[in-house]
Homo-oligomer: A and B are copies of this chain.
């Protein structure tokens, strides 16, 4: 067993991390977005299928395109975030499997089973969204994930054609700690887990 990460690293990733609802002025550079992808891309997915797609929205023009789809409570924090990520999924991820998983021909498994393909894109695209959140924290950024938006509107605006579908949004930047909400309770081990 490898050495556990330091307490300060565990705090930064999990214990002291807080969902951001407001952001300071520090920008998130393109170099940081590339560094973020260079970490999160290593997270495991079924048959290395990597269905997630990431649209990093920074410009005022692109923010305005996103704005009408946001739930009212998410508008101000999203307009103020240095970057908002649309975490989307490729509904035809299986077309890339021959290159991404050359050891076994997994493409027909999904190509011929729409339910399995949809569930696999949703499950693994969500895993990759969580990898993004934790990779961002590992790089020192704060995150504000949101599912309060009209997915059909986002898809019509950003993914015409129907192949890519939005899953959730994540604001990233440096949090303004005065905008944190009180931390919610968490289920105890005995409520959420069993050992058999």
Interface of A toward B, CB cutoff 8 Å: 1-6, 9-10, 12-15, 17, 19, 26, 30, 33-34, 37-44, 46, 48, 50, 52-59, 61-62, 96, 99-101, 103, 119-120, 122-124, 126-131, 133-135, 138-141, 143, 145, 147, 167-168, 174, 181-182, 184-187, 189, 192-196
User: Are A2 and B12 touching (Cβ within 8 A)?
Assistant: yes
User: Are A2 and B140 touching (Cβ within 8 A)?
Assistant: yes
Residues of B within 8 A of A167 (CB): 123
- The residue among A9, A34, A54, A181 with the most chain B CB atoms within 10 A of its own CB is A9
Number of copies of this protein chain within its complex: 2
Residues of B within 8 A of A10 (CB): 39, 138
User: Are A126 and B120 touching (Cβ within 8 A)?
Assistant: no
Residues of B within 8 A of A127 (CB): 126-127, 129-130, 133
Please measure, in the bound complex, the distance between the C-alpha atom of A42 and the C-alpha atom of B16, giving whole angstroms. 8
Q: Residue on B with the closest CB to A131? A: B130
A28 CB, nearest partner CB in chain B, Å: 9
User: Are B145 and A99 touching (Cβ within 8 A)?
Assistant: no
Lowest 7 A-B CB distances belong to which pairs?
A130-B130, A126-B126, A48-B184, A62-B196, A2-B140, A54-B193, A127-B130
